[in-house]
């Protein structure tokens, strides 16, 4: 999603950037534990279709 410059100040962007990094790391950690060899390509296809 694109936003115009100056819409979000630097401290807010830093906080939400850190939260996003933590959320992506948590999701990747859980996905590694739950996904098998068949569901990984399927997840990639679904993500490509949605994008």
Instruction: Write down the mean pLDDT value for the chain.
Output: 91
CB 14 within 8 A of CB 6: no
In the chain, where are the structural domains located? 10-50
Cα dist from 15 to 9, 28, 36, whole Å: 10, 20, 33
Say if residue 49's pLDDT is above 70: yes
Residue-wise pLDDT for 18-41, tens only, equals 999 999 999 999 988 888 888 889
């Amino acid at each position: 999603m694109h936003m115009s410059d100056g819409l979000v100040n630097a401290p807010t962007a830093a906080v939400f950037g850190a939260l996003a990094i933590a959320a992506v790391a948590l999701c990747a950690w859980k996905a590694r534990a739950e996904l098998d060899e068949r569901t990984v390509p399927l997840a990639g296809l679904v993500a490509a279709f949605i994008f």
